[in-house]
């Protein structure tokens, strides 16, 4: 059984679904109000309705290229069935978004396993303020709740607040934190964390990193150095490079994703703060444009409000 089988098992479906529905309320309300206006007074899906729908998707932060892809697919369905009416548009749109997410993210959490990696090493990247430290704390809580031994590495040594936050989360959820003095070499912190995880036979290591984007070359070099140093202790580490993005930043999240994917081999995404924004469309657009699986979503402030991303549940909740 993989680590995420534990994770899934622990989560009670009705509670998780309720939190997801509540977390997507703002996106859903904005989205449907716009769609209702787009089809007002129309009995069939014509060019004007499609133009209006295109505008709805773009202004919901789905992104231009993903929007054009969805519109093209709907146009094809309309051409095939001449009698499509506006009442059916929601069903068609839901189908197409679900299909798009399925095509882009072949990984699904129900099957996701960590395999034989022990410790499994997650390096977390993202700009300051996106909810990176909170995501680390909530993920550590979920994994510890599942009976796994977790250790956190405070490798964002440029901000005292970042190290203090990680320590607070460690105390709150009851997991060990490895930290050094402010201004220490981040790679040295990562090295120490992995060494102690191996010595203590721990299951998961989560490494925080500095969230600075002002110098991409500097960021590349720093993340590259951290990876090299970790591989000396655990060959193949990090197994997961998790980029945390804040949904409420809309198009900014696309730009951050672009920058970080150019700087390092991001292979998982966490999209946070969905509950505080009407811009949940970024989940669809980023998934489509970057072809990186969205693995976690943040749908609230409670400790259990970090969820495994389930494409079907997400789309169903959006169109409920």
* Bond prior to 119 in cis (omega within 30° of 0): yes
Asked whether residue 174 is marked as a ligand-binding residue, the answer is: no
Asked whether residue 183 is marked as a ligand-binding residue, the answer is: no
Dmax (CA) of the chain: 68
Q: Contact, 4 vs 308, CB < 8 A? A: yes
Closest alpha carbon to 99 in 271, 289, 283, 288: 288
Closest alpha carbon to 257 in 126, 62, 63: 126
Asked whether residue 125 is marked as a ligand-binding residue, the answer is: no
Asked whether residue 302 is marked as a ligand-binding residue, the answer is: no
Asked whether residue 130 is marked as a ligand-binding residue, the answer is: yes
Residue whose pair of structure tokens reads 């072809």 in the numeric block: 291
Q: Cα 281 vs. chain centroid, distance in angstroms?
A: 13
Asked whether residue 131 is marked as a ligand-binding residue, the answer is: yes
Asked whether residue 67 is marked as a ligand-binding residue, the answer is: no
Asked whether residue 128 is marked as a ligand-binding residue, the answer is: yes
Asked whether residue 204 is marked as a ligand-binding residue, the answer is: no
Alpha-helix residue ranges (DSSP H) falling in the chain: 3-10, 13-23, 25-39, 47-59, 64-80, 89-104, 132-145, 160-173, 186-199, 216-233, 251-263, 282-290, 311-318
Asked whether residue 126 is marked as a ligand-binding residue, the answer is: yes
Asked whether residue 210 is marked as a ligand-binding residue, the answer is: yes
Asked whether residue 272 is marked as a ligand-binding residue, the answer is: yes
Asked whether residue 142 is marked as a ligand-binding residue, the answer is: no
Q: Contact, 49 vs 89, CB < 8 A? A: yes
Closest alpha carbon to 233 in 184, 188, 170: 188
Q: How far apart are CA 17 and CA 86, in angstroms?
A: 28
**Residue list for the binding site:** 126-133, 208-212, 272-275
**Residue list for the binding site for GTP:** 126-133, 208-212, 272-275
């Amino acid at each position: 059984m993989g680590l995420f089988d534990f994770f899934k098992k622990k989560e009670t479906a009705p509670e998780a679904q309720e939190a997801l529905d509540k977390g997507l309320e703002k996106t859903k309300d904005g989205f449907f109000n716009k769609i209702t206006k787009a089809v007002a007074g129309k009995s069939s899906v014509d060019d004007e309705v499609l133009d209006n729908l295109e505008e709805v998707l773009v202004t919901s932060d789905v992104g231009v290229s993903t929007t054009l892809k969805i519109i093209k697919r709907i146009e094809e369905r309309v051409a095939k069935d001449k009698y499509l009416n506006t009442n059916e548009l929601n069903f068609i749109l839901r189908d197409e978004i679900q299909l798009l997410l399925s095509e882009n993210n072949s990984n699904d959490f129900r099957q996701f396993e960590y395999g034989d990696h022990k410790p499994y090493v997650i390096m977390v990247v993202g700009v300051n303020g996106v909810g990176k430290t909170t995501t680390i704390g909530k993920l550590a809580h979920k994994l510890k709740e599942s009976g796994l031994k977790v250790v956190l590495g405070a490798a964002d040594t440029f901000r005292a607040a970042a190290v203090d936050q990680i320590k607070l989360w460690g105390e709150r959820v009851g997991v060990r934190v490895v930290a050094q003095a402010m201004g220490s070499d981040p790679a040295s912190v990562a090295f120490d964390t992995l060494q102690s995880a191996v010595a203590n036979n721990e299951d998961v290591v989560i490494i925080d990193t500095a969230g600075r984007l002002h110098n991409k070359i500097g960021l590349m070099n720093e993340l590259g150095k951290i990876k090299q140093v970790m591989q000396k202790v655990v060959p193949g580490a990090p197994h997961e490079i998790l980029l945390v993005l804040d949904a409420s930043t809309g198009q900014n999240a696309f730009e951050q994703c672009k920058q970080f994917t150019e700087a390092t081999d991001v292979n998982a995404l966490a999209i946070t703060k969905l509950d505080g924004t009407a811009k949940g469309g970024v989940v669809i657009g980023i998934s489509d444009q970057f072809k990186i699986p969205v693995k976690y979503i943040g749908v609230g402030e409670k400790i259990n409000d970090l969820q495994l991303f389930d494409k079907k549940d997400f789309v169903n909740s959006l169109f409920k």
